[in-house]
Amino acid sequence: MYRNKFDKTGQMSAKGFKAEAVFKANVDSFFETEIVKAKFQDELKHIDFHCDLSFKVDIKSIKDKETVWIELKNVQGRKGWLYGDCTHFAFERPKGFYMVKRDDLIGLVDKLVDMDALVDTAKDCLYKTYSRTKWGRKDLLTKIKPSDLLTLPYVSIKKTHIPT
């Protein structure tokens, strides 16, 4: 455990080690991967961890500012994108993206949405379910608020580059 000679009490080193532990625990759980503590020689170069992150993201474009659509079943009646093979979703918002783990989002939807409350119109499906069966579709959809996503562990990605 390295301590700079100017850190007389060891307080700054202790804070640094704690921050590293918190960072590692959160990255490990959010990306479901292991990050490796750097060797002492790397730390002298200001490298604390080696992170080889691998995850699969499904990007969801913004539909409106007040709600986020969730697809429980697709138009064929099969599993919707919520239950697909990605590990994370990145929801577009006006100024960036909120990226959340798929499993966390499933748990949030299970908690917030009344699956027994089937409504007739899209405008009424906040925390309720909606289907477009009258148009020959077998889908099942719901909406949550963007702020609900922020109750989960998330990564915020600011829009800085917008391709033309």
Rg value, the chain, Cα: 21
Instruction: Please name the helix (run of DSSP H) or strand (run of DSSP E) that holds residue 15, with its range, or none.
Output: helix 11-31
Per-residue pLDDT reduced to its tens digit, 85-119: 999 999 999 999 999 999 999 999 999 999 999 99
**Residue spans per domain, the chain:** 11-50, 57-158
Its pTM stands at 0.84
Instruction: Return the bridge partners of 59, or none.
Output: 90
Rounded to whole angstroms, the maximal C-alpha distance in the chain is: 73
Query: Exposed, middle or buried: residue 101 (CB in 10 Å: 0-12, 13-18, 19+)?
Result: buried
Count the neighbouring beta carbons within 10 Å of the beta carbon of residue 30. Answer: 20
- The pLDDT value given to residue 115: 97
**CA–CA distance, 38 with 109 (Å, rounded to integer):** 38
**CA–CA distance, 28 with 49 (Å, rounded to integer):** 12
The parts of the chain modelled with pLDDT lower than 50 are none
Q: What is the DSSP letter of 79?
A: B
